[in-house]
Amino acid sequence: MNANRIAIERSKERIKQIESEILQVRNDSERIEKDTEQLRQENAKEKALSASIKRLCFPPESSSIHQTPIEPGSKPFLPS
């Protein structure tokens, strides 16, 4: 009988340990989901920012102002 009680107590302790590990895994999973969502949002912001920079700093050829090339030795035109 004593051996059975010891086995039962060990089983109860093991069950408590497993339950604790399950809770830890759930908490880790929730944290990973939050981190993943935050990373997705940061990536979306970065893509939007990159697109804005490209649009503002590198306009398409059709909308950019073409400069008249200056010949070597000539002076640039300065309006009065």
In the predicted structure, residue 56 carries a pLDDT above the cut 80: yes
Indicate whether 74 belongs to any domain.
Answer: no
pLDDT bracket for residue 60 (50, 70, 90): confident
| Three state DSSP letters for the chain | CHHHHHHHHHHHHHHHHHHHHHHHHHHHHHHHHHHHHHHHHHHHHHHHHHHHHHHHHCCCHHHCCCCCCCCCCCCCCCCC
Is 47 a domain residue?
A: yes
Assess if residue 75 is contained within a domain.
Answer: no
Length of the chain: 80
Instruction: Say how many domains are in the chain.
Output: 1
Range of the domain at 39: 2-59
Judge whether 72 lies within some domain: no
If one compares 12 and 73, the residue with the highest pLDDT of the two is 12
Domain membership of residue 7 (yes or no) is yes
Residues 48-73 have a mean pLDDT of 75
Per-residue pLDDT at 77: 58
Structure tokens at 57: 């700093």
Residue 78 domain flag: no
